[in-house]
Structure formats: C-alpha cells, structure tokens
Amino acid sequence: MAEGVRRHDLVRADPDAFAALLRARPDLDGAPHVADWAARGRPLIVRRYHPDEDRALVPLGLPLPPAAGKRRIGLALPAPALTPLPGPTLAAARGDAPAAWQPSLDALLAHAAAHDLVPRPFGALLWQALTGLTYLAPTSDLDLLWPVSEIPPGFLAGLARIAAAAPMRIDGEVLLPDGAGIHWRELHEAQGPVLAPVLAKHLDRVELRPAPRPGEPV
C-alpha cells in the first residue's frame, strides 16, 4: 500500500504521468477539463481504495464541477508521480464562499479557535477555491475536516448548534491521528453514558469502532 498518504490528502500529478494515465483511459476521452488538469496544476484528492485496487498505487479522485456533469472520476498513480499539496484552511478559503455563508463561517472559525482547531474545507468550497471553476451552487453543503488529537469537551455540541442555525448544511469528518475519519454528526450522536460505535473510514478500509470520549487522547 502507498505509504504516508491519507484520505483527503491533496496532491499534484506529474503532467507526463497524468497524460500517460489518460491514454489508458478511453472512457475519459472528451471529458471536460480532464485533459489539461495536471498541466494547469490542479490538484487531485486521495480517496479510499476500492476492494480490488492495486495497493502499490495511490487512489485518487478528480471531481468535475456541476456544469461538467458533476462526475467523480477515480484514478490511481504511483507515489513518485505525485507532489503533496497542503490543503487550504477554512479561513483561507472563505473568500470563495457565498455571502450568505459568511456569518456561519465567522461562528465556525471562532468555535475552532476556542478549541485550538484548524478546520479545512473539502467538497465544493475546496474545489472552487483551488481550481477557479464553479463548484458551489445555492444548494451546496459546506464540508469540513477537523483534525484532532482528542475531541475537545463541548466541541461537538457547539458545532451542532452552529449547524442548526446555518443556511447551508454543514457536513464533514473529524480526522483522528491514525487517519480515520468519522462523520461529526455521527460522533456527536454517539456521545452518552455508553458510547455507541461509529463508522470510521480509512484509506484502505471502513470499520466500526468505539466512539472516542471527549477530552481523552484518541
């Protein structure tokens, strides 16, 4: 399996390697934006392996914007053909978000700062910010990644309050140190005297695991 990569990591592909890959993918002939995607420096995102995929390659995704059919294209390339790309923070990407979202973004960023967290967007806001193409629509969700070393007490409840008042749906995952991603709503609903199991997504598998308890290292 490709070492050192995790779901949601962003990478740039070597244009020559990307072109060679496309020559072996006639199903992508004529797909909008795809032919010059790497040459323009646009990123790809690391996704989860399919069951029968070659673990020597890095599994990648290329989501097309709504005007191009909103197709989710699965690709795979060797790690030497890829260059890591730091993902933008929510604070850096918020300028590409709709005006109606801005009060909720203020609340999210204040909530993050209060818990020493730095959220990152993925989904439509991420791709619009990085490519300049139009991904956001009036019905778009806000998808966020929350990397944590532990679940701060009160964080999930506060996030739920912000989400309840927001004009857009706020989705996303809490990212644990081992690379597992757990949907924040599922994690919030699992809290209680007896912690319910939650679905954790890894690069190479999906598993049920006990929900981490707030305030304890995970």
pLDDT at 195: 82
Residue 127 to residue 70: CA distance in whole angstroms: 12
Q: How far is CA 64 from the centre of its chain?
A: 15
What's the one-letter identity of residue 173? E
Instruction: Give 1-13 pLDDT, tens digit per residue.
Output: 567 899 999 999 9
Listing DSSP states for the chain in one string gives: --TT--TT-EEEE-HHHHHHHHHT-GGGTT-TTTTTTTTTT--EEE-PPPTTS-TTSEEEEEEPPGGGT--EEEEEE-GGGEEEEPPPPHHHHGGGS-GGGHHHHHHHHHHHHHTT---EEEHHHHHHHHH-S----TTPPEEEEEE-SB--TTHHHHHHHHHHH-SS-EEEEEEPTTS-EEEHHHHHHH-SSSPPEEEEE-SS-EEEEEPPPTTSB-
**Is 141 marked active-site?**
yes
Q: What is the per-residue pLDDT for 2? A: 64
- Distance separating alpha carbons of residues 163 and 190, to the nearest angstrom: 17
- The encoded tokens of residue 164 equal 């309840």
Q: How confident is the model at residue 193 (pLDDT cuts 50, 70, 90)?
A: confident
Q: Exposure string (b/e) for 5-22, b if CB count within 10 Å is 16 or more?
A: bebbbbbbbeeeebeebb
What pLDDT score does 147 carry? 98
pLDDT 10s digits, 2-49: 678 999 999 999 999 999 999 999 999 999 999 999 999 999 999 999
Question: Considering the chain, what is the average pLDDT of its residues?
Answer: 96
Active-site entry in 141, 171, 178, 204:
141
pLDDT bracket for residue 152 (50, 70, 90): very high
Question: In this model, does residue 69 exceed pLDDT 60?
Answer: yes
Averaged pLDDT, 195-208: 95
In the chain, the amino acid numbered 191 is: Q
Asked if the model's pLDDT at residue 160 lies above 90, the reply is: yes
Rounded to whole angstroms, the Cα distance separating 108 from 119 reads 9
pLDDT (0 to 100) of residue 216: 79
Per-residue pLDDT, 75 = 98
Calculate mean pLDDT across residues 210-215: 88
Q: What is the pLDDT of residues 132-144, one digit of tens each?
A: 999 999 999 999 9
pLDDT at 103: 99
CA–centroid distance for 93 within its chain: 14
The region that residue 126 occupies, defined by phi over 0 for left and psi between -120 and 50 for alpha, beta otherwise, is alpha
